[in-house]
A = this chain, B = another copy of it.
């Protein structure tokens, strides 16, 4: 019985300065909690590791409250219900929820919790990638915030990443020309081979003017829509190469999460071009999941959307797996297998 086992939990015990370090966390073992009326106990099988988690470690106002010191690292997980006192969530079912990096979590079925069907998809982990938050981020960010039109040129930074790889493919389905920016020759090869990008730009070793020149060469008619996952010089360059009436969708600024903010200088271009820069967070779109999930499920099932997942093993390996997101050494959506 689960109650005889201990619950390993990955706690935040110190606010990271810059890149998170081992001393910022502690792995503890606690009693497995018992569900109260209305609650159920989930054995977490897989956790989603995302760059945005870095922001949750800081003690500053954001779209979610900071993780309190001493609390478990918040994370999206999928797992199996082991005990239940909630009739809507029966024992044995797979469930996707916002839990934590821990073996067991108590849930009440609120928020973004939903039952998922492992038989309907190539892999149950897809519910943490293309058929989960990552897929919906690409879907709503591109289609709802960016509103691409067929024939437009779409520039994606972090184009080989979990979100970027999906954005490029969806933009292509919608009839756009796609340019991907990524770091290194191997990733650029994957952009062209695996994600259907028309052009790949390797930002490594490129100065800011060289970046502008490379985008200009890749997009001789300018960029209509930039989907930004990286920020910094890539965003500043994108403001220059953007077309009149262009749009920049701000999804993430991964280059900034462990450092002082990059000083952006080209915001004036938004005026000169009558252009729009708009941020979004998935929590504002969760209530609209039913608009995106049927499309995403169908595209994944039919093989129209290539989904790469990078699965690391072991709850205790949270930190090195998480840091790979910032090293850029993951190939696909980073997932931590907890079982």
Contacts from A to B (Cβ < 8 Å): 55, 61-63, 231, 235, 244-245, 250-253, 256, 260-281, 284
Contact = CB atoms under 8 A, between A and B. Distances in A.
Contact of A63 (B231, B250, B266, B273): B273
B284 A280 contact: no
A288 to B, nearest CB: 13
Given A264-B264, A266-B261, A279 B274 contact: yes
Interface centre among A251, A267, A269, A278 (most CB of B within 10 A): A267
Nearest to A235: B267
30 contacts: A55-B272, A61-B272, A62-B272, A63-B244, A63-B273, A231-B267, A244-B284, A245-B284, A250-B270, A253-B268, A253-B271, A260-B265, A261-B266, A261-B267, A262-B265, A263-B265, A264-B264, A264-B265, A264-B267, A267-B267, A267-B277, A270-B279, A272-B279, A273-B279, A274-B279, A274-B280, A274-B281, A274-B284, A276-B276, A277-B277
A282 to B, nearest CB: 9
B271 A275 contact: no
A252 B267 CA distance: 11
A278 B284 CA distance: 20
Contacts of A263: 263-265
Contacts of A279: 269-276
A232 to B, nearest CB: 10
10 pairs of A and B residues whose beta carbons are closest in the complex = A263-B263, A270-B279, A271-B279, A261-B265, A276-B278, A264-B264, A274-B284, A62-B272, A274-B280, A63-B272
A253 B265 CA distance: 12
B277 A281 contact: no
B273 A278 contact: no
Given A250-B270, A253-B271, 7 more contacts: A61-B272, A63-B274, A252-B271, A264-B264, A264-B265, A275-B279, A276-B279
